[in-house]
Amino acid sequence: MNPETLKEMQEIDWWHNMELDGVMTNGRDYTQEKLPMMYLPKDLKGKSVIDVGAWDGFFSFECERRGAKDVLAIDTITWQEGPLWAADKGREIMHTGKKGFNFAHKILKSKVDSMEIEVMDLAKNDLIEKYDLVLCLGIMYHMEDPFGMCKVMYDLCSDDGMCIIETHMDCIEIKDKAVMAFYPDKQCNNDPGTWCGPNPQCVAGMLKAAGFKEVKMVFGNEQVHRGVFQAWKKKQ
């Protein structure tokens, strides 16, 4: 990477850690460490993928690297420059918008498509097709209507499709009921954009109520209250 390009990269406020032309971005997220926990299919040859809430696009580009024929990355808020709704240790972040995604797209010579559209508007958009793999990573707990989001994810899946959901969880100690914590202010990580914390039973219950025939939690960490779920339209 030449000095001018490196300088451009260093001026971007990265969220994802990803290697670009031999240089690692200084993202705030531990993306590389989280990748194995997402249980992405190793071979996506010939598959179509939509990455809901793509941010810098790490998972979009990773799916492309694994052979996906078509990848659509969507986002809105994190692709807008200015004060970001997410807090960082109580400090407001002045975000550089879509510059990270665009920079990575250029360096990787990627063919990933992108669209700025709200999650809940996806089902209303005639341009949106069905996808073999739907990624919804770090989105559910930011939704005012998480069950409605699950129904949109179901509608996006092809008949043989799968959805991977990664989310913050709460109320994990309650094992016998599907429950969800509601955060009307900044009770979760001082973040006014985090609305809810479902327990594992609640995540699985919402996905099944949305129509998914089989749901499995493939990763769960009670210490950091994170979970990863796979949901299929058909029984596996």
Q: How far apart are CA 172 and CA 179, in angstroms?
A: 9
At 185 the pLDDT is 85
At 189 the pLDDT is 78
Q: Checking DSSP bridges between strand 70-75 and strand 48-52, what pairing results, if any?
A: parallel
Which helix (H) or strand (E) segment holds residue 150: the answer is helix 146-156
Instruction: Report the share of the chain in percent with pLDDT over 70.
Output: 94
Q: What is the pTM of this model?
A: 0.93
**Residue with more model confidence, 87 or 185:** 185
At 23 the pLDDT is 96
Give the mean model confidence (pLDDT) for residues 80-95: 63
At 17 the pLDDT is 95
- Per-residue pLDDT tens for 176-193? 999 999 999 888 877 788
Give the mean model confidence (pLDDT) for residues 87-93: 55
Give the mean model confidence (pLDDT) for residues 149-165: 96
- What the block records as the tokens of 219 is 């990763």
At 80 the pLDDT is 87
Give the mean model confidence (pLDDT) for residues 47-51: 98
At 100 the pLDDT is 96
Pair 205, 178: CB distance under 8 Å: yes
